[in-house]
Amino acid sequence: MLKWALIFFVISLIAGAFGFTGISSATAGVAKILFGIALILFLIFLVLALMAGQVIF
């Protein structure tokens, strides 16, 4: 998912450099959403991994 966020970010930069502001803002929005989802999933899995590593008696 992070790979797709990076791809959309690069497309946004290229579109912005050529003056396609509508396409640039749309792809930047998609990149933000994908990055946010990837960050949330990372945090969820991090918490689950930390909880699985603890031994509670």
Q: What is the mean pLDDT of each run of 10 residues along the chain (57 residues)?
A: 92 94 94 96 93 74
The tally of domains found in the chain comes to 1
pTM of the predicted model as reported, rounded to 2 decimal places: 0.79
Task: Write down the pLDDT at residue 26.
Answer: 94
Task: Write down the pLDDT at residue 54.
Answer: 75
Cα–Cα distance for residue pair 55/48, rounded to 1 Å? 13
Task: Write down the pLDDT at residue 52.
Answer: 87
Task: Write down the pLDDT at residue 57.
Answer: 58
Residue range(s) defining the domain that contains residue 33:
2-53
- Per the CB < 8 A criterion, the answer to whether 43 and 3 are in contact is no
Token representation of residue 35: 């990055």
